[in-house]
């Protein structure tokens, strides 16, 4: 399975537009080569380099097995067409772009696409956190793709 963005390549800097210093919109993403037995997808974005530990920026779940990507800005807060979103570590629904502390160096931002064996993610509460989504997805995960971008302030 492959996960790509037309906004940045794996290992390259995420453009300012997709960060807290810019428009703070989610980047365009597309994927291919998903396993034929995929029932749904989860997409996560996190920062493993955050000072207090992993900072969760976005969780999208119950993405249709037929989905092949998300357009720029798909991570607007609140319910969206065709998928649900978890509560991020900024305490809001939707995408919260890269926003590392100033002069903290480059942080890595991991976009993780997870192919799941269930069409509806079994989350335990109405407004799950990104961590809740990640934990539930890990129980029904059978393949994952990774796209990493960097950003520093």
d(CA 33, CA 133): 23
* H or E element that contains 84: strand 84-85
Per domain, the residue ranges of the chain are: 2-151
Considering only the top CATH level, what class is 2-151? Answer: alpha beta
Note the pLDDT tens digit of each residue in 107-139: 999 999 999 999 999 997 889 999 999 999 999
Note the pLDDT tens digit of each residue in 6-38: 999 999 999 999 999 999 999 999 999 999 999
């Amino acid at each position: 399975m492959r996960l790509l963005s037309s906004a940045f390549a794996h290992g390259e800097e995420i453009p300012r537009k997709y960060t807290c210093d810019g428009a703070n919109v989610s980047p365009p993403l597309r994927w291919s080569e998903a396993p034929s037995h995929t029932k749904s997808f989860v997409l996560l974005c996190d920062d493993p380099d955050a000072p207090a530990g992993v900072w969760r920026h976005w969780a999208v779940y119950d993405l249709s097995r037929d989905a092949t990507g998300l357009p720029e800005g798909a991570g607007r807060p609140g319910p969206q067409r065709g998928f649900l979103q978890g509560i991020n570590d900024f305490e809001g629904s939707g995408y919260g772009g890269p926003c590392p502390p100033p002069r903290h160096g480059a942080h890595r931002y991991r976009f993780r696409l997870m192919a799941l064996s269930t069409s509806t993610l079994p989350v335990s509460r109405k407004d799950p956190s990104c961590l809740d989504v990640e934990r539930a997805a890990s129980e029904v995960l059978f393949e994952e793709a990774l796209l990493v971008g960097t950003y520093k302030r």
